[in-house]
Amino acid sequence: MASQKSFESAVNSIRTFLSARPPYCNGTYPVSPEQLTLFYGSNGSNANRINLAKATPQELGKLEAACQLATFGVNNENVYDESYRKAGKMDFADFATSFDVEDSDLLNLVDHGLLEGDDEQRAIKLELYKLNVYGKGSFFRAHKDTPRSETMFGSLVIVFPTPHEGGEFILRDKEHEWEVDLAKSVSESSQQPCVSYAAFFSDVEHEVRMVTSGYRVTLTYNLYFAPVGIMPCPTVSTLAPYEQTLAEALYEIVTNDAVLPDGGYLGIGLRHMYPVEEGTDVTDFRNYLKGPDAALGRVLSALGLSWNVRVFYRKVDSREYLHSRIVDLSKWGQMCCDVIHAIMRRSGAELVQHVHIYGTRKSFYGCSCLDWSEDSEEIQETKYVQLAEVTDLEDNISQVQLYVMYGNEPTVSYAYVKLCIAVDLPFLGARSINRLQVQ
């Protein structure tokens, strides 16, 4: 039997794997001068033309003047507030550019830089969103991109080679922060014209710092996963080298006889957040996981483990649930706990009992998670599923209630929540794990 120390080492390896890789990629891409021509105009006005490889300050000022004031979304409303965002915007119907991202190799760079493993081969759907002009004094404070569908996974920002200073691109993910100076990337490139780019997962907080001189001209694209058919099940031998490390850590856990000997769920909190609306079946995200989350799913499948995506509800009137759907608990106000419990159960939620990894009850909030049920006949008839928390499972009660969300557009129905993977681990006598390959 593996020691508790080796188990803790395996858990730390999983946590490190999920958080190690930056949630973005960036670089420069060479283009011809002809590809940097931009046509723009609106409301029946004559079209204007500008070459962004050699645009004068006067031409860029005219482009900025043709833009609308950029707003941002707060819940379901468009808000204009120069203390939060100051920039110009132009909708895609009002401009055209000779640079075709889909007809270039840039999308392949994004594929390999942002996605991992088998996902690098997945088709990406690209949607042109907007053109933005940041003149002197312009900025956009920290925000997350507004989710538009369950298949939207990221954004691509292209910065044209117009002279400017400032406007650094800042990304934040939990305690990590990255600064990307896209203007500097262009200025340090070769004599051939080029654009700089940054692609990132859409749940990552980001901001544009103040432009101190010149004009920062950008195109933004929304990135979607294309629909997938039946995906082949990976094997341990086909895992990428960096996925082998994760496989070894998971193998250490699931082959430990002391881990859920009577069966139950291993709960692994996902790194990224995902766009949902009320009623969303989160199991659909099995095919749309991002970055290290997708790698985690591939490794679990390669080990022959049954798993799916779930939403975790902690401390719902002293109860805890795993659910395949999003339930808006704010609708039920101050109803008694048994009524809410009945609602959750009828909607398909599984009542879970937290246990330590070695099978003993786990205490939360100063009391046993079963204390509330001792005198309840109705609850005593309820079947629990044991849940061992491998990495942190974040509470989703507050996230599915109404809250103020700052984004680049008002959101009508979608909001980001934290999800988890629940690994269905059979009891010891029925447990069969694919063996690791010795490298």
Listed residue (382, 400, 268) closest to 319, CA to CA: 382
Between strands 68-69 and 88-91, the pairing is antiparallel
Cβ–Cβ < 8 Å for 332, 339: yes
Instruction: Count the neighbouring beta carbons within 10 Å of the beta carbon of residue 58.
Output: 8
Handedness of CA 96, 74, 156, 231 (dihedral sign): negative
Neighbours of 152 (CB within 10 A): 22
Q: What kind and span of H or E run contains 57?
A: helix 57-66
Q: What is the pTM of this model?
A: 0.86
Other beta carbons within 10 Å of 51: 15
Q: CA-CA distance, 144 to 206, in Å (whole number)?
A: 6
Cα–Cα nearest to 215, from 133, 295, 332: 133
Residue 76: its pLDDT value, please? 59
By C-alpha distance, which of 178, 183, 242 is closest to 23? 178
Give per-residue burial for 230-243: e unless 16+ CB within 10 Å, then b: eeeebebeebbeeb
What is the predicted pLDDT for the residue at 438? Answer: 46
Give 94's DSSP letter. Answer: G
Which residues have CB under 8 Å from 70's CB, separation 6+?
85, 86, 87, 88, 89, 132, 140
* Cβ-defined contacts of 59-64 (< 8 Å, 24+): 60/133, 60/135, 60/162, 60/214, 60/215, 60/217, 61/135, 61/215, 63/38, 63/133, 63/215, 63/217, 64/88, 64/133, 64/135, 64/215
pLDDT for res 230: 54
**Position 230, amino acid:** I
User: What pLDDT score does 84 carry?
Assistant: 82
First to last CA, the chain: 23
Q: How far apart are CA 151 and CA 288, in angstroms?
A: 6
Q: What does each of the 439 residues of the chain score in pLDDT, given as a tens digit? A: 556 677 788 989 999 999 888 999 999 999 999 999 999 997 767 889 999 999 999 999 999 999 998 876 565 566 767 888 899 999 999 999 999 999 899 998 998 889 876 665 677 899 999 999 999 999 999 988 887 888 899 999 999 999 999 999 999 988 899 999 988 877 666 678 999 999 999 999 999 999 999 999 999 999 999 877 656 666 676 788 888 999 999 999 999 888 999 999 999 999 999 988 878 899 999 999 999 999 999 999 999 999 999 999 887 777 889 999 988 776 666 666 777 778 788 888 899 998 876 555 553 333 333 333 444 444 444 678 999 999 988 876 544 433 334 455 545 567 888 999 999 999 998 999 998 764 4
Specify the pLDDT at position 241.
83
Q: Which of 65, 191, 188 is nearest to 133 (CA)?
A: 65
Specify the 3-state DSSP secondary structure of 211: strand
Residue 294 gets the label, from left (phi > 0), alpha (psi -120 to 50) or beta, of alpha
Residue 340: helix, strand or coil by DSSP? helix
- What whole-number distance in Å separates Cα of residue 285 and Cα of residue 326? 13
The full set of domains in the chain, from first to last, is 22-225 (2.60.120.620), 232-430 (no CATH)
Q: What is the pLDDT of residue 333?
A: 60
